[in-house]
């Protein structure tokens, strides 16, 4: 009997977009496979950080930022969205799949939206399967 694949996920999270993301992650089925890096703004996430994570075998990267028009740093979430798009293009060119990266814009007062969207992302990664660059595949 084959074990169900549990994806490893890296979440870059704007500290203004989600209150206590690490606490919310603890409610997921396998929180130990999810790493949260809190940033002052999602716009501080650099493309190279996500690409290095994929190179090291992470199955998915989620960048969480404020809703459009609500960024505390004016356009940080827009910069993050452009970077997520660039990462998706690179992942497609490498035949890893653009669906392994996601931009999530949430309202800081709505932790349930973050949990729901992150949960849907996890399910999508389960369907896609493991990162082919992951050692041991």
pLDDT tens profile 34-78? 999 999 999 999 999 999 999 999 999 999 999 988 998 989 999
Sheet holding 60-66, edge to edge: 34-39, 9-14, 60-66, 101-106
Is the whole model's pTM more than 0.95, yes or no? no
Angle between the N-to-C axes of helices 47-55 and 76-93, in degrees from 0 to 180, rounded to the nearest 10? 40
**C-alpha closest to that of 110 among 1, 36, 7, 21:** 21
Which class would CATH give 9-128?
alpha beta
CA separation for the pair 80, 5 (Å, rounded): 29
Lowest mean pLDDT: which of 92-96, 123-127, 132-136?
132-136
CA separation for the pair 77, 74 (Å, rounded): 8
């Amino acid at each position: 009997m084959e074990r169900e694949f549990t994806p490893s996920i890296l979440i870059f999270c704007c500290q203004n977009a989600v209150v206590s993301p690490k606490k919310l992650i603890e409610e997921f089925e396998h929180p130990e496979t999810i790493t949260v890096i809190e940033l002052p703004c999602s716009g501080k996430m650099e493309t190279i950080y996500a690409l290095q994570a994929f190179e090291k075998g992470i199955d998915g990267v989620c960048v969480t930022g404020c809703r459009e028009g609500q960024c505390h740093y004016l356009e940080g979430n827009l910069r993050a969205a452009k970077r997520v798009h660039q990462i998706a293009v690179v992942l497609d060119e490498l035949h890893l799949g653009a669906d392994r990266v996601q931009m999530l814009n949430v309202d800081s007062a709505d932790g349930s939206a973050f949990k729901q969207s992150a949960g849907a992302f996890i399910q999508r990664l389960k369907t896609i399967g493991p990162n082919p660059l992951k050692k041991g595949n």
